[in-house]
Amino acid sequence: MATTSSTWTFSSCCRLVSCGIDAERVGRFRQWSKDGSAFLPFVFTKKERSRCRRLPDPAAGLCAAFCVKEALYKAIGRPYNFTDCEFLPGRGNTAGSFAVSPRLARDLRGAVPVARILRPVRGHLTAVVYLLGIV
């Protein structure tokens, strides 16, 4: 049985309010990226869908955006409208822009979300979202 381990560090001048993590198989998003499944507008913003279509691997882009949304859900600890969170992956899906709607920002009560995509491992992408508070 193979085991995996990942170690990373995070330092900030802010206090850590909460943290969420999610990992997904990129293959799960292959068909959705090809056929434009009807549910996509309920999960991904128009800008996210457009950006992912232009990437060399659209499925990996959708996977990265979905992982960020799920990780934020876990950091918040309650459901929210996934289109109130937008992650626009960059090339290689390791960097991108991350934003939340004004409505979701109010619900975070001053905590600032920061997303990080970890390098893919065996066809899986992992996202970590930190909720940071001003010290």
Domain count for the chain, please give it.
1
Mean pLDDT of 9-29: 87
Q: Tell me the residue range of the domain where 53 lies.
A: 15-133
Instruction: Please choose, from the candidates 39, 15, 30, 23, the residue with its C-alpha nearest in 3D space to the C-alpha of residue 61.
Output: 30
Please give the Cα distance from 43 to 85 (Å, whole number).
9
Nearest 5°: CA angle at 21, between 37 and 17?
Answer: 125
Determine, yes or no, domain membership for 9.
no
| Cβ-contact 43, 28 below 8 angstroms | no
User: Tens digit of pLDDT for each residue in 94-111?
Assistant: 578 899 999 999 999 899
Mean pLDDT of 49-77: 93
Mean pLDDT, all residues of the chain: 87
Determine, yes or no, domain membership for 2.
no
* Non-local CB neighbours of 39 within 8 Å, separated by 6+ positions: none
Determine, yes or no, domain membership for 102.
yes
Please give the Cα distance from 19 to 128 (Å, whole number).
7
| Cβ-contact 98, 72 below 8 angstroms | no
CATH of the domain at 95: 3.90.470.20
Q: What is this structure's pTM?
A: 0.86
Q: Tell me the longest C-alpha to C-alpha distance in the chain.
A: 46
Determine, yes or no, domain membership for 25.
yes
